[in-house]
A and B are shown apart, each in its own frame.
Chain A
Amino acid sequence: MGKTLATRMAFGEELLKIAETRDDFVVCNADTKTCGLDKFRTYFPEREFSVGIAEQNMIATAAGLAACGNKVYAATFAVFASMRACEQVRTFVCHTNLNVTIVGTHTGLQVGGDGATHAAIEDVAIMRSFPNMTIVQPADAIAARKIAQASVDFVGPLYIRLHRNAVPDVYDESYTFEFGKASIPLDNGKDMSMIVSGILLKKALEAAEILKKEGIGVTVIDMSTIKPLDEAAVIRAAKETGAVMTIEDHNIIGGLGSAVAEVLGEHCPVPFKRIGIQDRFGESGDPELIYRAHGMDVDSIAAAARELIARK
């Protein structure tokens, strides 16, 4: 097992590192400990703008900065970015199509202890419905760093979805990230596909290895860009394996599962299963126990995969 680091911290560290050699972006903060970017002020005081606990003002101020030609990063918890400042993201970043990257942290049930108010389970559904928005989500710290590097030259509204707690690396330094392109970290065969976005990739890979021992060949796809969705990769997976499962740390309504279902429904209907949050709010506790309660642990994923294949 590789190193463990939270995707949010890896992203923030990398952006701080990039800022040492590039001065063509600024950071807006709203007094949170989100992803280490609260430290941006210490090293680059001219390029950091703090607004206090005022997320709507942060996003609308970011829009004003971007309207003057600046690339802007605005970081806060995903619940606040997607809901407290929802209209500012929609109307003043997406409608205006401005160069603002929204960094949303503390996503999904992995938040654990902080409980329902702080665990974003619907942020992808919200952000995905805005025209012009691009949404990406790294599976581990290495992917988070690569996304940080790629994001600096990205132009337009961008939402980067990050997790709170440390996760083991699934990738090594050879991993490459490209906007809008799915990757295939594991190809164990053509019995079914698992399309995953975010840190649950690790669980998907473990479930696939269990299934391999049972003679079930699973192709695991990392959908690091949720919007625009790599539709060709979804259609190819459906045609080649004949059964598709989506896995995400997000409500099963409106997120990756819905995005994939939309493509399958229009182009290539096959037996399909969504693994994700069961349309219930988060709660405090050990994230692994909460994942189990929603059928998002390795054993539940493997069991759901067997049921899916039986429907083929």
Chain B
Amino acid sequence: MNHNYFTEKDVERLEEQAVQIRKDIISMIHKAKAGHPGGSLSAVEIVTALYFHILNIDPQNPDWPDRDRFVLSKGHACPVVYSALARRGFFDVKHLDTLREYGSILQGHPDMHKCPGFDMSTGSLGNGLSTAVGMALSARLHHQDYMTYVLLGDGEIQEGLVWEAAMAASHHGLKNLIAIVDCNGVQINGWTNDIMRVEPIADKWRAFGWNVVETNGHNMKDVLTAFHTARTMRHNTVILARTVKGRGVSFMEDDCAWHGAAPDEEQMVQAIAEIGEGGVV
């Protein structure tokens, strides 16, 4: 797999994969009767690009020491990663029916010891970037050339620890670290900029010494280009992916009520039908 470049065929393949992952998210959360569809759906293109094109990983050997690392700092969006891992072959897709069940490898928030492919347990917001800094430092210490990727939410960056970690990444010159902020603009109780204004996000990251790449987070070609750009920067880089919460399901889009709610039977059928018909931006 070429982790930098992509062809039109790659884009088509990834867009098809994204449709499958969106459907999985809806059916998983419906079956579990709980979960976080909004922030999972907004991150589908980002996660699909990572797991099916960008990340240097081996589903047969999830603990391979030289693998690229990925930290899902916005841990509540785990359904999108669970689906990607299953579809990528890290575990049988039948596990997707067990989300949040007792004894399941798919905990309500991800557990690195229960679910193959997770490099860090997350769920408590604001911590993932710090753990990713540790992983990037370790790569440098041991002269390993893996990259560390971390996905944050735009509401999540209200947590102060994010900025401690952002400062540290620049201070230590971590050119092997790429952060992605899923800027869907909505958090559990409303618009992010009404609850606690996070804009101007790009200026904040730049002030902390990061390269900033902005992209449409739902256009696969743009997402791949952003990753390509970030990887060639040789500097800690953040991708601000402009997204829509609940993307792909009309009644979930831009609605904070779907941050953490499960669709009923009728809503699930409608959502999956819409996802099947949906194209790209």
B168 CB, min distance to chain A CBs, angstroms: 5
Q: Which of A47, A56, A67, A97 contacts B164, CB < 8 Å?
A: A56
Instruction: Report yes or no: B168 in contact with A60, Cβ–Cβ below 8 A.
Output: no
Contact of B59 with A by CB under 8 A? no
Chain A neighbourhood of B130, CB < 8 A: 56-57, 60-61, 63-64, 88
Contact of A68 with B by CB under 8 A? yes
Q: Which residue of A lies closest to B165 (CB)?
A: A57
Residues of A within 8 Å of B, CB-based: how many?
Answer: 27
Chain A neighbourhood of B142, CB < 8 A: 68
Instruction: Report yes or no: A61 in contact with B165, Cβ–Cβ below 8 A.
Output: yes
Contact of B121 with A by CB under 8 A? yes
Residue pairs across A and B with Cβ atoms less than 8 A apart, 21 shown, are A46-B141, A47-B141, A51-B168, A54-B164, A60-B134, A60-B161, A61-B130, A61-B137, A61-B168, A63-B134, A64-B120, A64-B130, A64-B133, A65-B135, A66-B134, A68-B139, A69-B65, A69-B138, A91-B127, A92-B121, A96-B120
Check A67/B124 contact, CB under 8 A, given A61-B130, A61-B134, A92-B131.
no
Contact of B113 with A by CB under 8 A? yes
Chain B neighbourhood of A160, CB < 8 A: none
Chain B neighbourhood of A46, CB < 8 A: 141
B84 CB, min distance to chain A CBs, angstroms: 20
Instruction: Report yes or no: A62 in contact with B168, Cβ–Cβ below 8 A.
Output: no
Per-position binary interface string of chain A over residues 290-307, scored 1 when its CB falls under 8 Å from any chain B CB and 0 otherwise: 000000000000000000
Docked pose: A291 CA to B161 CA in angstroms: 37
Contact of A148 with B by CB under 8 A? no
Q: Which of A52, A66, A92 contacts B168, CB < 8 Å?
A: A52
Docked pose: A88 CA to B160 CA in angstroms: 13
Q: Which of B121, B123, B137 contacts A65, CB < 8 Å?
A: B137
Q: Which of B113, B136, B161, B165 contacts A96, CB < 8 Å?
A: B113
Residues of B within 8 Å of A, CB-based: how many?
Answer: 30
Q: Which of A51, A52, A65, A92 contacts B138, CB < 8 Å?
A: A65
Chain B neighbourhood of A26, CB < 8 A: 141
Docked pose: A265 CA to B236 CA in angstroms: 55
Chain A neighbourhood of B136, CB < 8 A: 64
Q: Which of B65, B113, B131 contacts A61, CB < 8 Å?
A: B131
Chain B neighbourhood of A92, CB < 8 A: 120-121, 127, 131
Residue numbers of B with Cβ under 8 A of A are: 65, 69, 71, 112-113, 119-121, 123-124, 127, 130-139, 141-142, 161, 164-165, 167-168, 171-172
A97 CB, min distance to chain B CBs, angstroms: 7
Q: Which of B131, B164, B167, B171 contacts A63, CB < 8 Å?
A: B131
Instruction: Report yes or no: A95 in contact with B137, Cβ–Cβ below 8 A.
Output: no
Chain A neighbourhood of B134, CB < 8 A: 49, 60-68
Contact of A278 with B by CB under 8 A? no
- Grouping DSSP codes into helix (H, G, I), strand (E, B) and loop, the B interface class, with mixed when no group exceeds half, is helix
Instruction: Report yes or no: A63 in contact with B120, Cβ–Cβ below 8 A.
Output: yes
Per-position binary interface string of chain A over residues 87-107, scored 1 when its CB falls under 8 Å from any chain B CB and 0 otherwise: 110011001110000000000
Instruction: Report yes or no: A70 in contact with B141, Cβ–Cβ below 8 A.
Output: yes
Q: Which residue of B lies closest to A57 (CB)?
A: B164
18 extra interface residue pairs, beta carbon distance < 8 Å, beyond A51-B164, A60-B130, A61-B137: A47-B141, A49-B134, A52-B164, A56-B127, A56-B130, A60-B127, A60-B134, A61-B130, A62-B134, A63-B131, A63-B134, A64-B134, A65-B134, A67-B112, A67-B120, A68-B69, A68-B135, A96-B120
Docked pose: A39 CA to B57 CA in angstroms: 38
Docked pose: A65 CA to B132 CA in angstroms: 8
Check A91/B121 contact, CB under 8 A, given A66-B134, A68-B135.
yes
Chain A neighbourhood of B69, CB < 8 A: 68
Docked pose: A182 CA to B164 CA in angstroms: 40
Docked pose: A60 CA to B71 CA in angstroms: 12
Q: Which residue of B lies closest to A68 (CB)?
A: B138
Please name the 10 residue pairs, one residue from A and one from B, whose CB atoms are nearest each other, closest first: A64-B134, A60-B130, A64-B131, A68-B138, A57-B164, A65-B134, A54-B164, A61-B134, A64-B135, A56-B161
Chain B neighbourhood of A51, CB < 8 A: 164, 168
Q: Among B132, B142, B164, which residue has the most Cβ atoms of chain A within 10 A?
A: B164
Docked pose: A68 CA to B148 CA in angstroms: 11
B178 CB, min distance to chain A CBs, angstroms: 15
A302 CB, min distance to chain B CBs, angstroms: 47
